[in-house]
Structure 1
Amino acid sequence: MTTPTTAVTPRSAAGSRLLNKVPEVTVWFWIIKILCTTVGESFADYINTTLGFGLTNTMLLFTVVFAAVLTWQFRTRRYSPFPYWLTVVVVSVTGTLYTDMLTDQMHVPLWLSSTVFSALLVVVFGVWWLRERTLSIHSITSFPREAFYWLTVLVTFALGTATGDWTLELTNWTPARSVFLPLGLIAAIAALWRFGANPVLSFWLAYVLTRPLGANIGDWLASPKTPAAPGEPVGLGLGTFATSLIFLSAILATVVYLAISRSDVAETHEITHVPAVTTNPRRERTALGAFGVLAAATVALMVWAHHQPHVTCDPTGQSETLPACKKAALTSSQTAAAVAKYERLTQTAIAQDKAGTAAASHATVQTMRDDWDADATSLQAVDNATWTLLDGQMDAVLKTYAIDHGGIRPAPAAEQEKQLGILLGDLRNHHF
């Protein structure tokens, strides 16, 4: 799919020649867009997980970076490859993190976040159309239109992340297999665009689908060759850092080429290409019906895949992509033994802090955290209120050790002892 154009008013056409702030949609546009979405997946995982910066801190960091690069982009007078594509890279990471924040931290189901982001995208498009009477990217010639454009881009990345993750949750496909669904849908949309489908609709549908396509490519390249836990993805084992570096290098090389050749600048493209204007309403209606058939076929495929035998939960509770399998409630004696275990571990960590053996104390608390996660569903089944109270204090202890709280330093031993003492008191005073 190259340039999806529509007829524009003389005024907007003139504005496009003078101040259009986005690139012409050529094959280079789609190549670099997919590269950016892959970076959005792999680099967010690298900062959040590999470096241990933490999801919340990573999200806040990239929100600030996004605001900074977007300000740079707004201050340019016309399309310039470096600020534009830097903004796309950053918004790809930011949109990914917003969806991950809802899923991992706030435990919002993926079907719900997919629905909410879809509705939000419809609202953004509706307000954009009511105010500007066009959704064409060939007339981004004013601050309001550019603001609508980047808001739409942000929502599409969040939506693409949610729908892509939801697809994997429903089907349990491997990253390599999951590449084919968005790739096939994009190919079908391109074919319908060539037939005469509405170019604006075709463009934004393909734009959303590049997000799960790029993310699946990133997961396939970065995931280990053997699963880290039941249901975890497998791939080529390059790791998130190597994958991010490869794709960031490819993006930089492509942007340098575009900056030199100016082949994606609207003025240059208009000189060397004949505009492809869609003017056949009958073909647009036919293609719209085909889009409906394509959507129905996709839903049918998802339903079929969902009902195929596959792993739907992780018995270890360690998977990042599958929910932990539900466990039966512990018996009273099992619950008492579990609480006694955590009391012993807490006392051991306090004694190690007092002895000045910080590394040993950290290892003990790490073991306590791992056991607590493994027992979580069984203890919740006994008494969710008590588990929630203890889980909150457990998290306070982990924070003093900088465990699962990237970007902070461990607290002094006295503060660690204090929080461990509170946890020990809670374990003794609150019974399941």
Structure 2
Amino acid sequence: MGKSISAILEPVRAAGSKVPEITIYFWIIKLLTTGMGEVASDFLFERLNPLISAPVSVAIFIAAMVLQFKARRFVPWVYWLVVVMVSIFGTMAADVVRVGLGIPYVASTIFFATALAAILSIWYVKEKTLSVHRIVTRRREFFYWLTVLTTFALGTAAGDMTASSLHMGYLASGLMFAAVLAVPIVAYKLLGLNEIAAFWFAYIMTRPVGASFADWFSAARDSGGLGYGKGEVSLVLTILIVVLVAIRGGKAASVAESESRDRVA
């Protein structure tokens, strides 16, 4: 196991950045994947035995990650498949902490927030940057996906906390998180917020936004939702994701930062 982890973290350089450029289509697809992962995970747990659905989801997640790490360049369908599976797996991780271990939503939110802060801190210490424009080594890619996975788990826990523990409901939670999501956008455009900080702030917030609205659409009316059903909402979101990735999957992010700002530790 130690050898395999060391192999993953070897600073092997890819042909280019392994993640897409940040465009409006990136954010739209990201929001769709957050919602899809939330309701798909719940749908699988409700319709299938968790002893079946969980291992199958984990197996697909691992297979997608292997494809991503083996690729020497950015491949849109592989990248977004990983994001979808991270979304589903992140939801399951948050649910295991809450339901399986009986930890309250507030505590699980604090736990994942602390874990995320620790991961970002270690990433910065090791690489001297958190930029997504230079995901060109295995170690950076490892930190990138570990961060992404943790943001999904954190977003799920935070969304459930506001909707359930704080009794805000899905719609109010979605609107509140959408307002918070606007903060880094405005701060970056008008107040000169650092680009990297703005990106990760927005990236973290897209999860509870997408998850809250997806829950609102899918949950039964007596639970504060519109009652469209988890299976139906999952299917619609999946179709939208496939269409957008096929049309606007994106190209690799530009490796544009100076070496002095982004040197390998």
CA RMSD of aligned residues (A): 2.0
SS of residue in 1 equivalent to 2:136: coil
2:247 to 257, 268, 287: 257
- Are 1:235 and 2:235 matched, yes or no? no
SS in 2 for 1:248: helix
Deviations 1:257-277 (A, max 9, x none): 025xx5x4335xx9xxxx899
Is the 1:103–1:110 Cα contact (8 Å) retained in structure 2? Answer: yes
Q: Contact 2:132–2:253 (CA<8 Å) still a contact in 1?
A: no
Matched letter for residue 252 of structure 2: V
In the alignment, what sits opposite 1:402? none
Q: Does 1:91 align with 2:86?
A: yes
- Aligned position for 1:198: 194
User: Percent identity between the aligned chains?
Assistant: 35
SS of residue in 1 equivalent to 2:18: coil
The reply to whether residue 216 of structure 1 matches residue 203 of structure 2 is no
User: 1:36: Cα distance to partner?
Assistant: 0.2
* Counterpart residue number, 1:25: 22
Query: Given that residues 119 and 147 in structure 2 are in contact (C-alpha distance below 8 angstroms), is that contact kept between their aligned partners in structure 1?
Result: yes
Q: TM-score, normalised by structure 2?
A: 0.87
Number of positions where the alignment pairs a residue of Structure 1 with one of Structure 2: 245
Distance 2:171 2:124 in 1: 38
- SS class of match (1:237): coil
Q: Which runs of structure 2 are paired with 1:69-88 in the superposition (5 Å)?
A: 69-88=64-83
Deviation at 1:165, TM superposition (A): 1.1
Contact 1:66 1:94 in 2 (8 A): yes
SS of 2:241's equivalent?
helix
- Give the Å deviation of 1:124: 0.9
Q: Return the letter of the residue paired with 1:194.
A: K
TM-score normalised to structure 1 length: 0.54
Return the alpha-carbon distance in structure 2 between the equivalents of residues 89 and 176 of structure 1: 23
Which one has more relative contact order, counting CA pairs under 8 Å at least 6 apart? Answer: 2
Give distance in 2, aligned partners of 1:69 and 1:276.
28
**Partner Cα distance (1:58, 1:168) in 2:** 25
Q: What amino acid sits opposite 2:38 in the alignment? A: E
Look up the match of 1:104: 99
**Cα contact 1:224–1:235 (8 A) shared by 2:** yes
8 Å CA contact 2:16, 2:252 repeated in 1? no
Q: How far apart are the structure 2 equivalents of 1:59 and 1:207?
A: 26
* Equivalent-residue separation in structure 2 for 1:134 and 1:145 (angstroms): 10
Larger gyration radius, structure 1 or structure 2: 1
Shift of 1:79: 1.0
Alpha-carbon displacement from aligned partner over 1:42-94 (angstroms, at most 9, x marks no partner)? 10111101x1322x543333222211100001111111110000000000000
The question of 1:36 aligning with 2:33 is answered yes
Q: Determine the structure 2 residue equivalent to 1:366.
A: none
